A and B are shown apart, each in its own frame.
Chain A
Amino acid sequence: MNEDLYWTLVDIANGLLSGVMLGGYYAIIAIGLALTFGVMRMVNLAHGDMLVLAAYLAVLVLQFVPISPFITLALVIPVMFGVGYALQRFLLNAISVQSMERKGMSAGFGLMSPILVTFGLSIVIAHALLGGFASDARIIRNALSYSAVRLTEDLNLSTLRLIFFVIAVAILVALHLFLRRTHAGRAIRASADDAEIAPLMGIATPKINALASGIAIAIAGVAGVMVGMSRTFQPFDGPVFLLVAFGVVIVGGLGSIVGSLVGGVLLGITQVLAGTYFGPSAQLVAGYILILFVLAVRPQGLFARRR
C-alpha cells in the first residue's frame, strides 16, 4: 500500500476511534441537561457547575482516603443525587411555570425564573468552590492517565477514554431501561409528556420532578469525576461543560437518549478530526460549525421526538 495513503487512513481511524470515545463522555455530560429540560421544561444553567462540584467532591474524598478515583463514585453518585433531588424539591419546584401560574404570575415569568435562579446558583457554586479550594487547577490523579489499549501497531486508544465510553453507554442503557420498564420511569415519562394531566392520574409531580432532577445531577456527577480524571479543572469551569452539553443536545435533539449518544459522538469525531488536521485551536471552532450546521438544516436536532 502507498505509504501516504496508509498514514492518512491511520489518522482518520484514530480520529474516529477517539472521537467515538469522546462522544460517550460528551453524551453523559449532556444527558442530565436533556432530562431536566424534557421533564421539567427547565434549563439548568448550573448544570456544568454540578459537574465541577462533583469533581471537587472526588478530590476531597481522595485527600482523606487513597482509593481508586472510580470508587469515589460510590459517594459522589448518592451525594449528587441528593443535591439534585433537594434542588428541585425545595427550590425549583417553587418557581416552575405551574407554580408561578398558581401564584397568579404569567407563564412567561415561570419560564424565566428558573433561568435566573440557576444562573445565580451557578455563580454561587463557582464562588463557594473558589472559597473552599482556591483557584489552582486540579486533576484527579489516576493510574490510567497515560495507559493505552493497542489495537494494531499504529492504532491505539486511551484506556481511560475506553472505560469512560463503556460507563457512559452503560449509564445510557440503564437510564433507558429505567424510563421504560419501571413505574417511576413511566411516571417521569408521563410528566414529561403532559405536566398538567400527570397529577390527575395520581402522579405526585413534585416528587417525580425531584427524582428526575436527582438522576440528572447524579449522572452529571459521574461525568464530573470523568472530567476531573481526564483534564485539569478550576472552580469557574462549569460554563465550559454547559456549552458542551448544549452542543450535544442541539446536535442530537432533546428528549432522546440515542440522540444524546449520537450527538455526543458526532461532536466528538468532528472535534478530534479537526484537531488532527488543523491543530488544537480548530477543535472548538469545528464543534461550533457542526452546531450551526445542524441548527440551519435540522433545528430540532437529529433525533428529536415529534411533539
Chain B
Amino acid sequence: MSLNSNKISRRGFVAMLTAGAAVMALPKGAFAITTARAKALIDQAAAEINAIISSGKSQAAMNRDFERVLAKYGDVPTMARSALGPTARSASAAQMRSFTQAFQGYLAAKYGKRFGEFQGGQIDVRDARPLKSFYEVRATARLRGQSPFAVSFMVSDRSGKDLFFDMVIEGISLLKSERTEIGGMLDKRGGNLDAVIRDLQAVS
C-alpha cells in the first residue's frame, strides 16, 4: 500500500478487521477481573454443567461434555502444572503437553462420574468475593435425597483470560487432592512421568 493512496488493499482491509477484532476483544483481558465477571463465568459454567447432568446421556457421552466445559472454563495447563508439582520443572515441553492433555481427560472422567450421580440435582451459584489475588465463587450443590453442600470455584485472570483453576467441595480442593494423587502415582512408578501419562490416558 503506497503512502499517498487512500485506497485500501484487500489484504490491508483484512488486517484491519483482525486488528479491530483484537481491540474489541481486549477489554476482557485488559481490565482487571471483577467479582461480577468471576461470578458470570461460573454462572455460565454451572448452567452448562446442569444441562449435562439433566441431559440423560450415557456416562461416556457426559464425560466428553464435561471435558469440553473443563477446557472452556478452566485453566487446565496451570492446573496440570500445579498437580504435577516439582516434577513439572524437569519435564520437557512435549511431556507437559501430553501430561496436560491426559490430565484433562482423566479429570473429566473422574469427576464426570461423580457429577453423573447428581442426576436430578443441580448447582446454584450464590455469590462471589475476592480472596487474596483471585476470586472465590460460592455455589451450593443440591442433590436428591442428600443435604446440600458447598462448592467453590476459584477464578483468576492470571492466564490472560477469566478461568477457574480449582474446585473446592466442603473445603476439599480438587487441585490439592490431585497433587496427592499424581504424587502417589509418580512414587509408585519410580518417578517415571511417561508411565504416569500412559496410565492417565488409560483412565480417560
**B is a partner of A:** no
